[in-house]
A and B are shown apart, each in its own frame.
Chain A
């Protein structure tokens, strides 16, 4: 299975709508993403690009982030307190990494993003398949 660092990688920018929150993330040319059907991902429209800890950096906006937690409280759902956009967060499936919202990458139409369905409604049975995404190769 290929990890997030396969292929030639580059740092790409992204962020929320009002531009208070800005991040950079190191991504390969072909970007693997997961569209999850769980209750929170459906409502926020979040499309996951999961990366190891050191392939993500928050450039701006820490003070604007609001954290929302539910259920086990492990996932830290972070959204901009001005525009509500959840541009990245700390996922329960990969607490050692970050999940960036593919919808919040700059100029997403110019990127090669391959979106696969993830059955988050049956999270316990499926989350293990994502664990490798936050590990360095």
Chain B
């Protein structure tokens, strides 16, 4: 597969972990300018040829807004914004918030501001299908 670089991160309390196998370490880090991402100071990173696994001890907090196309994934204990997820064509795809996960090197990188506010529903879905990272999101039941 050649998915070499492996990056890891977690929320503040440690309930939610993420691993990110990227196809290349040279990924663009984006600062989405929507009101939600700005409030979290988010730095978004995706790789359509990579793979993400998000593991949460217990259920994630899920939030929806705007065009309601994605689940915003939050830690219910410490409130950290982990990333966003959507299901498309039977595949889960996510965009990680490298800041919330303190996932280096992306959390410490300069982020390019991006404004998606003019998108239609179809443009938004097409962009996310083309860019977001295939993923598995696991919410473990408490033992």
**What's the tally of chain B residues with a CB closer than 8 Å to chain A?**
27
Q: How far is the CA of A104 from the CA of B78 in the complex (A)?
A: 18
Q: Across the A-B interface, how many residue pairs have beta carbons closer than 8 Å? A: 80
A40–B65 contact, CB under 8 A? no
Count of chain A residues with a beta carbon within 8 Å of a chain B beta carbon:
28
Selecting from B21-29, B95-103, B115-123, B133-141, the interface stretch reads B95-103
Contacts A18-B65, A44-B41, A45-B41: A84 and B80 contacting too (C-beta < 8 A)? yes
Is the C-beta of A130 less than 8 angstroms from some C-beta in chain B? no
Which residue of chain B has the shortest Cβ distance to A47 in the bound complex? B41
**B36 engages A43 (CB within 8 Å):** no
Q: Is the CB of A17 within 8 A of B100?
A: no
Quick one: closest B residue to A87, CB to CB?
A: B39
Q: Which residues of A contact B (CB under 8 A)?
A: 16-18, 39-40, 42-47, 66, 68, 70, 77, 79-87, 101, 103-104, 108
B residues with a Cβ closer than 8 A to A are 11-13, 35-36, 38-42, 61, 63, 65, 72, 74-81, 99-102, 107
Q: List 18 A-B contacts (CB under 8 A).
A: A17-B36, A17-B39, A17-B65, A39-B12, A39-B102, A40-B78, A44-B80, A44-B100, A45-B39, A47-B41, A66-B76, A66-B79, A70-B13, A77-B78, A79-B79, A83-B72, A84-B40, A104-B39
